[in-house]
Structure 1
Amino acid sequence: MSAIRITQSVGLSGVNNPADVKAIQTALNKLLKLLPSINALVVDGRLGSRPENSKTVAAIKQFQSKVVGMVRPDGKIDPNGRTHKNINDKLIIKSHQLRFKLPLASSNVQELTESDFLSVAKALNCKVAAIKAVAEVESSGDAFLPNGKPKILYEAHIFSRFTNHQYDSSHPSVSSRSWNRSLYVGGALEYKRLEKAMELDATEALKSTSWGRFQIMGFNFRAAGFASVEAFVKTMFTSQRKQLDAFVNFVKSKGLEEYLRTLNWAAFAQGYNGSQYAQNNYDIKLKKAFDKYDKK
């Protein structure tokens, strides 16, 4: 849905032309993820005999509070006014997100060369074995699946958080309030889960997925050097070298290169995998992989 046009004011003390009210109700339904306590509105063009008790007015006020930043939401939308412009801004962004389609496959699934590892180790001032250790532990050394798509892992608990838990009941396989290991299906089937979540909210689904050989989470797209998660994902489909470059950007952005240089695996794992890293023995796995490559 692109930008909407209203001819007269909608909401409290508004003119409330039915066509205008319908336009606002439809628009707010498209933006429900921004309104955590609002359920889908009935698109009937009416506010009822007591507009102050209307669900549509409640949604307008919450949008004004949560998105527009109004300290005292007035529940009224004027044509081309502040609230109207913010609604259209969000609709345009959402329309752009919905147009995003995953690439079919990579045209370059070649393995990283020793030269690639050497250049990155020089950039991060660490041993080659340290880079190889991360690559092995994060994705078992595989950047791409047999079908040419980058290896991924979709995280339902992150998608749930990013979408204000609104899909937990209706889509439990892709939106879960808490982490649930049983939801993982592995391999190419993870794309089925991702695509199902993308039908609900494409951008938040991409952010909720880890990508490629270094399994960088989509929500870290800026740290990896990209302006949008969509641009990050497209790059993950291109080549292992591009995935490696994103890894370098991410490590530098997070200030983790020192831990690779000093082989402080616990500190690196905490910064790279989060505070729960010990539950999966990431630091132990990294040290074991490093020792293997350092002896070669």
Structure 2
Amino acid sequence: MSSIKITQAVGLGGTNNLNDVKVVKIALNKLLKLIPPTKSLIVDGRLGSRPESAKTVAAIKLFQSKILNMVRPDGKIDVNGRTHRKMNEKLLTTLSMVTYKLPIVSIETQMLSESDYLDIANQLGCKVAAIKAVADVESSGDAFFSNGKPKILYEAHIFSRLTNHKYDSSHPAVSSRTWNRSLYTGGSQEYARLEIAMSLDTSEALKSTSWGRFQIMGFNYSESGFTSVEAFVKAMFSSERKQLDAFVSFVKNKGLEKFLITLDWASFAKGYNGSQYKQNKYDVKLQKAFEKYDKK
């Protein structure tokens, strides 16, 4: 079901034709993940003698409250009204979420060569050691796990923010209002957390993850040169060179290349990792990594 059609209003004050009610119940059952803790509705086409107490009406109100941010949800779906349109929009999104799967791991992953680094350094106008320093600090110099999947780190606090905190209570391991180090499982096990989040909201889960050698966040897909986060993730799985190209696009679009050229690691760290970079001494780590590679 990618959309629903109703002939008359359903819910409180609605006509509640049997077929219309049945269609709405089927749709709500498809959208249960958006309206926790709602349970699956019995698809019988009826609201009962007291619609104000019906589980279907409660589900409609919850949808209006959580998804439409209605202060006073009325529990009614008018034909082509605001709730009807938003429900169809979410059904289309849910269909996309169900069909999306992470890219297949490449049998042979092409490794970066010195010429790749030199090429990118020339594009940015900086030293090769500066680029290697970022790669070293972000992912310990490795782009992929031993299983062939790109290195990732799933961020529960980002997912919580992008999904308006709707999964904080039902899925605390993957949706947290605040950053919580204890939620990390580390290594390739981060994919297990990502998969759980993807079952709730694929697009926002991909955006809430940092990817590859340069650990670029998925929500930065546009700045990295891609039209969608799915296209970005496909590139991350594809090759180290595509990860490197994404890094170049990101750095240029964020205006950070000047800091790589001048070796202003504090300014680069702030622009690349945010204002909290000092907590992890990110700029200090970059300086030490640069000195290591600049000696070679």
**Bin for the TM-score computed over the shorter chain:** 0.7 to 0.9
TM superposition shift of 1:85: 3.2
Contact 1:41 1:55 (8 Å CA) reproduced: no
Matching residue within 41, 44, 55 for 1:43 = 41
Structure-2 separation of matches of 1:206 and 1:56 = 28
Contact 2:61 2:73 (8 Å CA) reproduced: no
Paired residues in the alignment total 291
In structure 2, the residue corresponding to 1:203 is in which secondary structure? helix
Contact 1:33 1:164 (8 Å CA) reproduced: no
C-alpha spacing 1:64/1:231, structure 2 compared with 1 (3 Å): closer
1:262-273 correspondence to structure 2 within 5 Å = 262-273=262-273
Alignment-derived partner of residue 138 in structure 1? 138
C-alpha spacing 1:240/1:254, structure 2 compared with 1 (3 Å): same
Structure-1 separation of matches of 2:148 and 2:171 = 28
1:90-101 correspondence to structure 2 within 5 Å = 90-101=90-101
Overall identity of the aligned pairs, in %: 64
Alignment-derived partner of residue 202 in structure 2? 202
TM superposition shift of 1:249: 1.1
Superimposed CA distance per residue, residues 192-246 of structure 1 (whole angstroms, 9 cap, x where no aligned partner): 2211222222222211111100001111111111121111111110000000011
Structure-2 separation of matches of 1:56 and 1:91 = 15
Alignment-derived partner of residue 9 in structure 1? 9
Alignment-derived partner of residue 256 in structure 1? 256
| More deviation, 17-26/118-127 | 17-26
Contact 1:3 1:91 (8 Å CA) reproduced: yes
Contact 2:68 2:83 (8 Å CA) reproduced: no
In the alignment, structure 1 segments of 5+ residues that lack a partner are none
Quick one: which amino acid aligns to residue 203 of structure 1? S
Contact 1:211 1:218 (8 Å CA) reproduced: yes
Normalized against structure 2, the TM-score is what?
0.86
C-alpha spacing 1:250/1:20, structure 2 compared with 1 (3 Å): same
C-alpha spacing 1:193/1:5, structure 2 compared with 1 (3 Å): same
Structure-1 separation of matches of 2:68 and 2:271 = 34
Structure-1 separation of matches of 2:120 and 2:48 = 61
Alignment-derived partner of residue 166 in structure 1? 166
| More deviation, 92-101/105-114 | 105-114
Contact 1:22 1:43 (8 Å CA) reproduced: no
Alignment-derived partner of residue 107 in structure 1? 107
TM superposition shift of 1:12: 4.4
Structure-1 separation of matches of 2:93 and 2:159 = 18
C-alpha spacing 1:15/1:60, structure 2 compared with 1 (3 Å): farther
Contact 1:3 1:88 (8 Å CA) reproduced: yes
Structure-2 separation of matches of 1:163 and 1:49 = 33
Structure-2 separation of matches of 1:190 and 1:42 = 30
| More deviation, 82-91/269-278 | 82-91
C-alpha spacing 1:178/1:138, structure 2 compared with 1 (3 Å): same
Quick one: which amino acid aligns to residue 55 of structure 1? A
In the alignment, structure 2 segments of 5+ residues that lack a partner are none
1:120-269 correspondence to structure 2 within 5 Å = 120-269=120-269
Structure-1 separation of matches of 2:38 and 2:284 = 48
Normalized against structure 1, the TM-score is what?
0.86
1:53-132 correspondence to structure 2 within 5 Å = 54-59=57-62, 61-62=64-65, 65-66=68-69, 76-81=76-81, 83-132=83-132
Structure-1 separation of matches of 2:98 and 2:105 = 20
Quick one: which amino acid aligns to residue 242 of structure 2? K
Contact 1:105 1:148 (8 Å CA) reproduced: yes
Structure-1 separation of matches of 2:158 and 2:234 = 21
Structure-2 separation of matches of 1:126 and 1:51 = 67
Contact 2:8 2:17 (8 Å CA) reproduced: yes
| More deviation, 119-128/70-79 | 70-79
Contact 2:12 2:51 (8 Å CA) reproduced: no
TM superposition shift of 1:110: 2.5
Quick one: which amino acid aligns to residue 128 of structure 1? V
1:20 aligns with 2:20: yes
Superimposed CA distance per residue, residues 238-273 of structure 1 (whole angstroms, 9 cap, x where no aligned partner): 000000011111111211112111211111111111
Alignment-derived partner of residue 293 in structure 1? 293
